[in-house]
Chains A and B, each alone.
Chain A
């Protein structure tokens, strides 16, 4: 297991380098720093102000290798950017000048407060509903529920957000239509509606998936044996189907755990939650490429972490699997 872990971590290096290379090409070759400067500084910017902006951020260095007489060969934009990312120096925002480490650190908690409750509530509700549907399988309610799940899946997330905000917050006045406060009891007041919308928007797909997984388990020999020995349907579902079905869920669920940190782009913007989704959205709007580049880098790290975590959890949950 330990050797496997080390090997996997070793594989991360070329993957991460590939990501860094790709982001460099995207943000410094495809889109030149001059173009970014003009966009950030606006139509009234003069060539001198553009030049000064680039100089103050080190974007006026030679692209790959520094051939300037008297200059060090590695004093180039490419080496500079690679070194920064490799040492986890995220730098500062191109637009506001704020250190990105601080920007990301401040966004993590609001994002997690939105995504973690939504994640666990989604799993709990979807598992509960799926078990219920398996329990009453083939009944009319099961058919109606399946149709309802398909309907839930078919509605775009944007519609949930706008409709939920309008109906629950505007017409019924139950929750604030917007805002966020990180202080005691006022925090849930702001989060209940976005969390509920996040849960509902994903519920249809989750219930359908979990129902299919549990139904597959129901057809296994050991279930038939249990039923033959007189175990009730409820006990079969809760003790055997749920436990064994959850192993299959690990691949789906664990890989998405690290992404909870990244928040929700749409919900955070519509509800004014100052999380990382909000930060990223703003950076894209304002051409803050330093933020976007750092987000891509952190996102790839989280993705790799998620994959590794999935493998480890799989081995832990299913004794038949050994990591070599």
Chain B
């Protein structure tokens, strides 16, 4: 037993990863692997279904989109062609409709896969985009984009309803919203102007899909061999393809040997990154040969493996925060000495408390809403509950979205004195009405965890500083959603929105009066004819100085009307190892794995240095066992 234990301790490496798929590349260079962590298994890798962050992160390097985001231009974000030759050409039709004329790059091939004859991927053609669009409208596919796209793309709503009634979708029917005009060319027909369509073309929902792949991967057994379902076996055109998916354990991607859709950009980065990025300009992508994504349910093992050098990057969670980050929000010296780099990533998202504008009290008293907003100390909230990592939001639009003003300060941000004055002006001096009755307000939150309860108490204390009484109601998530949908609340904490695409329309639609629940997401039930007029004008405009002006006006209206109490733009700290310098930080790229670089030699050297095994604990343990045995023998002799 002792020998066996010693064999496993000293004979085996503590590296948790399997051997890479190869040792060297065809050109003799070392095979480079990127090691990263996933918080859970992807739910679906079907491009028309995948919507959650984890699934998108795995799908992004496998399934390319028609357009993509330029990796270095994040303020504002910028679209560039990916599978398309150029950005779509916009044509205005008579009657108000819009057509986008698109052309695919010729010579792009699907991954080699058994679903194709002889296992060789075929060329991507416009029919594959048409097939993808048909899948969006198929109710059985459950595409999350349908609810939005059916309002704009011709024929989508009708196709969906017909399929619902018939309980099956006719894949041979023509799609009036997408017309194939040549082998590589197609046109998308919209009922009305919707410039945001271009952003949807940068999402996987509109990625071309090979019909052969969907039909082949049906989840059934054929000739004695079980086939996966398509949602677990994507066949794309991306720089990587799925080589192995061990459920609940890991996903391994390997380099697509025939990838040539895009190359490393030649411009766009800041001047201080010139030395790192210039040598990569115009080079073929990707830079690594394999991506290993390990599934971790707990965050502690992620930190342990990062420290041992078995992960190339990690998000700084609460468990390891104090070990890694100093009170001044810098990386601790110990990790700086190891060459680790700290990055702060701001998500294009905004979190706030929704105020119900249909509530007879809050909806009719703007001063009261302003007072409540002034009483909420968002910074303390972030300091106490989020380790000061997120950014206090001063406006609805998060950084990077066109119209975001860095210098803008919320006129009703935290200011307790001002809050008290506003409350008095609202008719509640010291929190009491004219009859001396204390003002009572209900705050709905999601309850359950101790942290959520503490946060709710914090919010309550903030508002009660004004002398009012706040009743906290804890709700399960679905119950709070119901209240938001049916308007049964006064203040709802925990509301927020993450950008589907970097356009102000994607945030301001939250306050458009024609977007009321339950069908829409205007949970505050905000109705302002001027705001609506500006929204309608802005939503259908291409980006321009005029549009920026409208966006600023809309921001000012919301800031003054206070249909919400702003809280934060979610952010996170991430660490990267010295051998994996960060190339880009565009949050819309879901990791941007094709741009990742690895210095293989440095990693091997540091891993050896960091993972030495001391012998003395085993010797001490053996001595203890021997001592016990001697004791037993002695006792036996005496008996």
Set B142, B482, B636: member contacting A52, Cβ < 8 A = B142
Interface flags, A33-63, vs B, CB<8A=1, else 0: 0111011011111111100110110000000
Set A39, A56, A95: member contacting B43, Cβ < 8 A = A95
A174 touches B52 (CB 8 A): no
User: Which A residues touch B305, using CB under 8 A?
Assistant: 177-178
- Known interface pairs A272-B295, A272-B301; A173-B611 also in contact (CB < 8 Å): yes
A98 touches B14 (CB 8 A): no
Set B15, B41, B521: member contacting A176, Cβ < 8 A = B15
Set A47, A179, A234: member contacting B519, Cβ < 8 A = A47
Question: Is A97 located at the chain interface by the 8 A CB criterion?
Answer: yes
- Count of chain A residues near B, Cβ 8 A: 68
Set A31, A96, A175, A232: member contacting B8, Cβ < 8 A = A175
In the complex, the chain B residue whose C-beta lies closest to that of A178 is: B301
User: Which A residues touch B636, using CB under 8 A?
Assistant: 135, 234
- Known interface pairs A177-B305, A274-B249; A269-B14 also in contact (CB < 8 Å): no
User: Which A residues touch B273, using CB under 8 A?
Assistant: none
B43 touches A38 (CB 8 A): no
A44 touches B44 (CB 8 A): no
User: Which A residues touch B14, using CB under 8 A?
Assistant: 169, 173-177
Q: How far is A98 from B26 in the complex, measured between Cα atoms in Å?
A: 37
Which of B258-266, B423-431, B568-576, B612-620 faces chain A? B612-620
Q: How far is A186 from B13 in the complex, measured between Cα atoms in Å?
A: 10
Chain A residues 8 to 29 lying within 8 A of chain B, measured CB to CB, are none
In the complex, the chain B residue whose C-beta lies closest to that of A192 is: B8
User: Which A residues touch B477, using CB under 8 A?
Assistant: 35, 38-39
Set A53, A170, A175: member contacting B9, Cβ < 8 A = A175
Question: Is B360 located at the chain interface by the 8 A CB criterion?
Answer: no
B632 touches A132 (CB 8 A): yes
Question: Is B182 located at the chain interface by the 8 A CB criterion?
Answer: no
Q: How far is A292 from B423 in the complex, measured between Cα atoms in Å?
A: 49
B142 touches A96 (CB 8 A): no
Interface flags, B245-257, vs A, CB<8A=1, else 0: 0111100000000
A48 touches B147 (CB 8 A): yes
B16 touches A177 (CB 8 A): yes
A106 touches B247 (CB 8 A): yes
A172 touches B617 (CB 8 A): yes
Tell me, rounded to whole Å, the shortest Cβ–Cβ distance linking B488 to chain A: 15
Question: Is A281 located at the chain interface by the 8 A CB criterion?
Answer: yes
Question: Is A231 located at the chain interface by the 8 A CB criterion?
Answer: no
A179 touches B16 (CB 8 A): yes
Set A35, A95, A169: member contacting B478, Cβ < 8 A = A35
Q: How far is A82 from B114 in the complex, measured between Cα atoms in Å?
A: 40
Question: Is B451 located at the chain interface by the 8 A CB criterion?
Answer: no
User: Which B residues touch A67, using CB under 8 A?
Assistant: none
Set B5, B12, B40: member contacting A286, Cβ < 8 A = B40
Set B307, B476, B485, B632: member contacting A170, Cβ < 8 A = B307
Q: How far is A269 from B295 in the complex, measured between Cα atoms in Å?
A: 10
* Majority DSSP secondary structure for residues of A touching B: helix
B521 touches A97 (CB 8 A): no
- Known interface pairs A44-B521, A234-B636, A270-B298; A56-B307 also in contact (CB < 8 Å): no
User: Which B residues touch A180, using CB under 8 A?
Assistant: 249
User: Which B residues touch A274, using CB under 8 A?
Assistant: 246-249
Question: Is A86 located at the chain interface by the 8 A CB criterion?
Answer: no
B297 touches A278 (CB 8 A): yes
The CB with the most chain B CB atoms within 10 A, among A46, A178, A180, is that of A178
A270 touches B142 (CB 8 A): no
The CB with the most chain B CB atoms within 10 A, among A53, A103, A189, A271, is that of A189
Set B231, B304, B614, B635: member contacting A177, Cβ < 8 A = B304
Interface flags, B1-45, vs A, CB<8A=1, else 0: 000010011001011111000000000000000000000110110
In the complex, the chain B residue whose C-beta lies closest to that of A177 is: B304
A35 touches B229 (CB 8 A): no
- The range of chain B's interface size is 35 or more
In the complex, the chain A residue whose C-beta lies closest to that of B246 is: A274
B294 touches A272 (CB 8 A): yes
In the complex, the chain A residue whose C-beta lies closest to that of B300 is: A162
Q: How far is A270 from B9 in the complex, measured between Cα atoms in Å?
A: 20
User: Which B residues touch A55, using CB under 8 A?
Assistant: 139, 164
Interface flags, B566-600, vs A, CB<8A=1, else 0: 00000000000000000000000000000000000
Question: Is B282 located at the chain interface by the 8 A CB criterion?
Answer: no
- Known interface pairs A47-B518, A181-B18; A270-B301 also in contact (CB < 8 Å): yes
Question: Is A264 located at the chain interface by the 8 A CB criterion?
Answer: no
Chain B residues 537 to 559 lying within 8 A of chain A, measured CB to CB, are none
Chain A residues 268 to 303 lying within 8 A of chain B, measured CB to CB, are 269-272, 274, 278-279, 281-282, 285-286
Set B249, B496, B631: member contacting A272, Cβ < 8 A = B249
Set B9, B44, B635: member contacting A97, Cβ < 8 A = B44
Question: Is A166 located at the chain interface by the 8 A CB criterion?
Answer: yes
User: Which B residues touch A106, using CB under 8 A?
Assistant: 247
Question: Is B479 located at the chain interface by the 8 A CB criterion?
Answer: yes
Question: Is A190 located at the chain interface by the 8 A CB criterion?
Answer: yes
Tell me, rounded to whole Å, the shortest Cβ–Cβ distance linking B622 to chain A: 14
Q: How far is A271 from B139 in the complex, measured between Cα atoms in Å?
A: 39
Q: Across chains A and B, which 3 residue pairs bring their CB atoms closest together, nearest first? A: A179-B16, A35-B478, A274-B248
Give residues in B with beta carbon < 8 Å to A.
5, 8-9, 12, 14-18, 40-41, 43-44, 51-52, 139-140, 142, 144, 146-147, 164, 219, 229, 231-232, 246-249, 294-298, 300-301, 304-305, 307-308, 476-479, 481-482, 485, 496, 500, 518-519, 521, 611-614, 617, 631-632, 635-636, 639
Give residues in A with beta carbon < 8 Å to B.
31-32, 34-36, 38-39, 41-49, 52-53, 55-56, 95-99, 103, 106-107, 132, 135-136, 139, 141, 162, 165-166, 169-170, 172-181, 185-186, 188-190, 192, 232-234, 269-272, 274, 278-279, 281-282, 285-286
A39-B478, A172-B613 provided; 19 other pairs, C-beta below 8 A? Answer: A35-B477, A35-B479, A47-B518, A56-B140, A96-B231, A97-B231, A162-B300, A170-B307, A173-B613, A176-B14, A177-B305, A178-B294, A178-B301, A178-B305, A186-B12, A186-B18, A272-B16, A272-B295, A286-B40
17 contacts between A and B (CB under 8 A): A38-B477, A39-B478, A47-B519, A49-B142, A52-B139, A52-B164, A97-B231, A135-B639, A169-B304, A174-B613, A176-B15, A178-B301, A186-B12, A190-B16, A233-B639, A270-B301, A274-B246
